[in-house]
Chain A
Amino acid sequence: MVFSNPTFLFVFLPAVLVATWAAPVRLRRFVLLAASLLFYAWGVQEFVLVVVASTLADWALALGIHAARERNRPRLGRTLIVVSIVQNLGLLGYYKYAGFLTHQLDRIAGVLGAPAPAVIAVALPIGISFFTFEKISYVVDVWRGDVAPRRDPFDVLLFVAFFPRSIAGPITRMREIQADLHAPRPNAADMGAGATRFAHGLAKKVLIADQIAPVANAAFAASSGGGLTTSAAWIGALAFALQLYFDFSGYSDMAIGIGMMLGFRLPENFRRPYSAVSMTDFWRRWHMTLSRWFRDYVYIPLGGNRHGGLATYRNLLIVFALTGLWHGAAWSFVLWGLYHGGWLMLERRMGWRAVDGPVAHVALRRAGTFLIVLVGWVLFRADTLGDALHFYKAMAVPVHGLTPAVADALTGQATFALVVAAVIALVPGARSGGRWLAEAAGRTPTFARAATLGIVLPLALAFAFASTFSPFLYFQF
């Protein structure tokens, strides 16, 4: 189930909201846990049992780690943390990367003329990358002493499975929601703000991202089939940049909004990333919970920037290679990560990070940063490296005209959505639009909230309800 699915919107979500609000406070977490496990099982069926078993293992290991510290047994603690990380990364490695790895071994064996291992094909359970990182963060935080282990296994299960962010984040730390896990108590202000936030996110997803998607899809399909013109390439890249932002940030808004309505404060994930003045700034605005996870659990343990320039650059490259790999099991993702890592290195070397103090030439820096990010998204979206190269070639070497498929995809609605998206995404600001809408005070935000709830929300719900309409011209028996 995804948040814009009619079954989720008109059956699951209202049922969960009513059941949670109506349930006695001490029972709410069980209602939420049951709903979360049903939500996840809807998409992955039996794999939910693997998640439950792995989470219970982490719960037990965290208790063991804490006990080891209490009894001054650091070696036992280290062993247990290693076991936890290995079992988490092992699961992630098997389900997400086994196919990729065996495919690479097969290719190498082919080149060397050696016997090749069988290529494994494993179905990828949705959300595995997200909740794996959350489980690791929990156990590591317990090991570091940053958070106390939860005695109640249901708390840890709910932490991992909590449906608003189980499949696409925000990647949450235990300490951020632990106060609410045992007895969620949504207050009136949060419920209201959460509804507004949810409405905003749904609109971003179905009214903007879904309308723009066909343009991006047409351009990238043309890059593999041939016939991609320069204008189509740039329009397609822009369309994808905006589609990805509105889809992902819209989803985060919906997750945060549902969380608020249920009594949880989930962390922010986006802060106007396309207004960034440098790549360093970009990664402090884009998918913030992922970049902070890598900062706290990979970059800093590797040494961060504490051991000189070369070590810092090495650490940056490792982090961003892993960031790329986290997004997908393909070389194009790794290259995309290294592309970003390379830019961060360059900014650090040249003093262009622009994150400390006032910045000159803001508009130029924003445009330049957006251009760098836009070019990187081509690697992220292309099906193969070859397709990405074709796309870049079309962008760089003028080919006149407009690819017919892209022209067809640029309907009135898609063009309107593109323009609106570009204006919204490129307008600078301190807070994300969702936060401003939900939290800002004053006449303008109040009017905007009323318009969002009164006009935009019903329209977005109608669009979501009308999706997947696929009729036949004549009756099919």
Chain B
Amino acid sequence: MRRRLRVLPALWLLALLLVPIAGWLLGARQPLLQNRPKTAFPAITDHSIRDGNTFAALDGAILDRLPFRGTALDVRTRVALDVFHDSTNPDIAVGDGGWLYFKPELKPCEPGGQPSSDPADAYEVLARAFVAAGYRTSVIAVGSKLFVHTRDAPQLDAATSACVAALERRIADRLAQTPGGLTIDDRLRAIEATGAPTFLRLDSHWNWRGRLVFARETLDRMRSGLAEEVGLHAGPEYDRPGDLAALLGVRRTERDRLLLTRRAPQPPLRPGGVVLIGDSQLENTLLGLGRADNSARLLADQPWCRWPDLAAGVCDDALRSADAVLIEQVARDMVFFTTQCFHPLGIAAERMDGWRPAGWEQLDGGSRRLDDPLTIPASGLATVRFRLAEDRADTPRLLRLTVERTIPQADGSPTPITATQRASSFVSPCMTPAQTGAGALLVPVPAGARVSDLVVELRSAAGSRLGRPQQLVLDGGARAARR
């Protein structure tokens, strides 16, 4: 008996170690815990067995499949979160009352995270461009939870926080004054000031209050009074899992409300009439919006694009045939916005009318005024500066260089013409980086910037030709060609 008691600790240890395997044999399986596909088991061959990566992959594959890892994560997170109020994920900060915040919201002011151009300029140019192209436009940069629900926010790096807060403020103020621009941050802060949060505690998204403000505003921009017409309201409560809690490895829910409509719009929205471009804030708010019985979704016939889809050109045709566009992005992704906004800008520019001639000069080998199209010389590089009647203006302007001729490469495809801006007093926001075939290079000039400061290097195969520049003032008026 005593001998059996002595061996008990070893049997207990063995039992604990066998729990995952035993669970697997009994049918327990590990769910997708990390928001990615499970690591595949590597092929074991005579060759692969000599590669350290094979064993690393084997490790990963086993780890992704051992049951009860979720339970282990839950235990670890409960200790960290509930006992020590610590985060187990470097991207999550724990605020007061268990409020979770996403630290990459500070990315735009961290080393290596700064946007290449002024994001306020980028948002303004894009909004004005779509207005000019005749769209009913809403462009919004969603304020970060850290700077909207501030009362429970943790103490993060003060300088970085102040920098991002100021940047988001500037973007919001600019959009508030821009035709086609939209901001709801101040309205959310006004609600927050009454003690009612507009964000979820365990999630990076708005709660029903925040979504209601956003939905009302954007629906009314699609069609005046649409929110009232469809009877937009906050519906019953439900338990919503938090995405930030999931990043900590725990499944925790909190009470939220559904947003519902009561009626279909009359007349119905034209299918394809509205293009929705955005991320999960837009998706969570508008895409499932409909009646309580799920019989119809309000925007079921309207195309919706994630930002990667837009960058890949998947939404181009939908954008061309729409009457209205809603462009939404969370402010923390402003770097991505500033590098990708050239693409929707190019689509909008296709519809613009009223281009006027502009001047330019070639700077290679001394300044030389150009009155004609530019042919790329043998060096493959042409450096140009633009000349407009007003060097500086109070509204943004758009310069267009039409591609007249490209030189085929060895495989027959056209050699792209690339445009790079030299360092100057401003960075052209949403500038087209490269163009081939039938298209144009677009060079936006933000409000208040001196065109004469803008020097652009155009590179391509010798003989490629660009038409003389044209300009369009983005003064908030429609400049759309008849369709």
Contacts and interface: CB of A to CB of B under 8 A. Distances in A.
A57 to B, nearest CB: 22
25 contacts: A6-B63, A7-B63, A10-B17, A14-B17, A14-B21, A188-B3, A191-B10, A192-B7, A194-B10, A195-B10, A199-B9, A412-B83, A412-B85, A412-B86, A413-B80, A413-B84, A413-B86, A457-B13, A459-B75, A462-B72, A465-B68, A466-B69, A469-B89, A470-B34, A474-B35
B62 interface: yes
B20 interface: yes
A194 to B, nearest CB: 7
B243 interface: yes
A322 interface: no
Given A45-B51, A45-B52, A469-B33, A462 B76 contact: yes
Given A45-B51, A453-B12, A459 B85 contact: no
Contacts of B69: 6, 465-466
Interface in B16-51: 16-21, 33-37, 49-51
A457 B8 CA distance: 14
A177 B163 CA distance: 64
Contacts of A474: 35, 280
B84 A412 contact: yes
Given A462-B76, A466-B73, A476-B35, A7 B62 contact: yes
A173 interface: no
A14 B12 CA distance: 11
B191 interface: no
Task: Say whether chain B's binding surface is mostly helix, strand, loop, or mixed.
Answer: helix
A373 interface: no
A477 B36 CA distance: 6
Contact of B10 (A42, A192, A459, A477): A192
Nearest to A196: B9
A17 B58 CA distance: 21
B106 to A, nearest CB: 12
A461 interface: yes
Contacts of B6: 188-189, 191-192
Contacts of A43: 52, 55
A325 B13 CA distance: 38
A471 B84 contact: no
Contacts of A470: 34
B482 interface: no
Contact of A188 (B7, B21, B51, B91): B7
Interface string A402-414: 0010000001110
Given A462-B76, A466-B72, A416 B84 contact: yes
A10 B20 contact: yes
A42 B59 CA distance: 10
Contacts of A95: none
A46 B54 CA distance: 13
Contacts of B49: 45
A51 to B, nearest CB: 15
Interface of A: 1, 5-7, 9-11, 13-14, 17-18, 42-43, 45-46, 188-189, 191-196, 198-199, 261, 404, 411-413, 416, 449, 453, 457-459, 461-463, 465-466, 468-477
Contacts of A7: 58-59, 62-63
Contacts of A46: 50
Interface of B: 3-10, 12-14, 16-21, 33-37, 49-52, 55, 58-59, 62-63, 66, 68-69, 71-73, 75-77, 79-80, 83-89, 91, 102, 157, 204, 243, 246-247, 249, 280
A107 to B, nearest CB: 30
B33 A471 contact: yes
Contacts of B72: 461-463, 465-466
Contact of A195 (B12, B34, B52, B249): B12
Given A188-B4, A466-B75, A473-B204, A461 B16 contact: yes
Contacts of A473: 35, 91, 102, 204, 243, 247
A416 B10 CA distance: 29
Lowest 7 CB-CB distances: which A-B pairs, in order? A412-B84, A465-B72, A195-B9, A191-B10, A471-B34, A466-B76, A462-B75
Contacts of A194: 10
Contacts of A471: 33-36, 89, 246-247, 249
A463 B12 CA distance: 18
A441 B70 CA distance: 38
Given A7-B62, A469-B34, A453 B21 contact: no
A14 B14 contact: yes
A150 B264 CA distance: 88
Contacts of B243: 473
Contacts of A463: 72, 75-76
Nearest to B204: A473
A71 B102 CA distance: 76
Nearest to B48: A45
Given A412-B86, A413-B86, A476-B36, A404 B3 contact: no
A473 B18 CA distance: 31
Nearest to B35: A472
A195 B13 contact: yes
B86 A6 contact: no
A9 B14 CA distance: 10
A469 B33 CA distance: 9
Contacts of B8: 192
Contacts of A42: 55
A449 B62 CA distance: 31
A261 B37 CA distance: 38
A416 B83 CA distance: 11
A454 to B, nearest CB: 8
Contacts of A461: 16-17, 72
A469 B73 contact: yes
A6 B35 contact: no
Contacts of B88: 466, 469
Contacts of B247: 471, 473
Contacts of B10: 17, 191-192, 194-195, 261
Contacts of B51: 45
